[in-house]
Amino acid sequence: MRLFIDTGSVAEVERIAAWGVLSGATTNPSLLAKEDGDPGEIIRRICELVGGPVSAEVVSQDPEGMVAEGRALRELHEHVTVKVPFCKEGLTATHALTSDGIPVNMTLVFSANQALLAAAAGATYVSCFLGRLDDISVDSGAVLAEIVDCFRAGGVTSQIIAASIRHPEHMITAAQLGCEIATTPAKVLDQMLNHPLTDAGAERFRQDWQSRPEFGEWLHALTEKRLQATG
Ligand code: E4P
């Protein structure tokens, strides 16, 4: 499963991109509205940082407006994927944009039926919102499993994005079900790092190595020698 970061913050993308784990990013109007600065510059910078697909969302409510905004957003950077909200108008716009070769991430999908419509309209990516389903006491894992089954059974090529991720367990569910992508807030990516046994193990290795200072000197000399040899 590829990892996208779900954010409008360049600083967050810079921080997490340094880990080497990101394949793309998703923004949305709410996330961008929290940031200072020009949204176009933010989207471009995120594109450069992740070097992969970055979703930027249209806000018009009619298909013509969505298509016009989508084309303009796409011209910001070659990595831009146009994000279109699920609705009849959004399906029409998705069909028009993808027919022109512009990748579309159909967002705000909450059921297998909506996902099938999004795929039929040609969506490149279909984003199922897990956390918001949980918020209304709907089993998000069951909905996601239904979407995966429907797509695999019918040979649908649209990629499934697990979105609205709220905690690391959502990541495991999405990966086990075979979603191609999870788009994840920085906070959850941070949580995924942690395990008390990792911290305890690293501390033990450090202490044991420090108990043999001559070994530390040996590794330092070995590294220096190589650095000098390779310039
Ligand atoms: C997906 O692309 C959306 O930007 C996002 O995952 C929404 O998540 P939220 O429900 O936490 O706002």
Taking only the tens place, the pLDDT of each residue in 54-84 is: 999 999 999 999 999 999 999 999 999 999 9
For ligand 1, residues with CB inside 6 Å are 6, 26, 28, 107, 127, 129, 131-132, 163-164, 183
Which residue owns the Cα nearest ligand 1 atom 11? 164
- Could you give the CA distance from residue 25 to residue 56 in angstroms, rounded to a whole number? 9
Q: Is the dihedral of CA 131, 136, 139, 145 positive or negative?
A: negative
Q: 216 C-alpha vs ligand 1 centroid, how far in Å?
A: 47
Element (DSSP H or E) covering residue 40? helix 39-50
**Ligand 1 test: best mutation among 129, 161, 171, 188, most atoms within 8 Å of CB?**
129
Instruction: Give φ, ψ of 40 to 5 degrees.
Output: -65, -40
- Could you give the CA distance from residue 9 to residue 1 in angstroms, rounded to a whole number? 23
Report the helix count and the strand count for the chain, using DSSP H and E.
12, 8
Residue 82 has a pLDDT of 98
CA atoms within 13 A on the CB side of 183: 26
Residue identified by tokens 């419509």 is 117
Catalytic residue of the set 34, 83, 187, 225: 83
Averaged pLDDT for residues 102-113? 98
> Which among 185, 28, 195 has a CA at the least distance from the CA of 107?
28
- Could you give the CA distance from residue 191 to residue 174 in angstroms, rounded to a whole number? 16
Is 83 designated active site? yes
At 3-62, the pLDDT tens digits run 999 999 999 999 999 999 999 999 999 999 999 999 999 999 999 999 999 999 999 999
Which residue owns the Cα nearest ligand 1 atom 1? 163
> Which among 99, 53, 94, 97 has a CA at the least distance from the CA of 76?
53
Give this prediction's pTM.
Answer: 0.96
- Could you give the CA distance from residue 125 to residue 88 in angstroms, rounded to a whole number? 17
* Beta-strand pair 125-129/104-109: parallel
Q: 34 C-alpha vs ligand 1 centroid, how far in Å?
A: 14
- 3-state class (DSSP) for residue 8: coil
- The pLDDT of residue 202 is above 90: yes
- Could you give the CA distance from residue 51 to residue 175 in angstroms, rounded to a whole number? 22
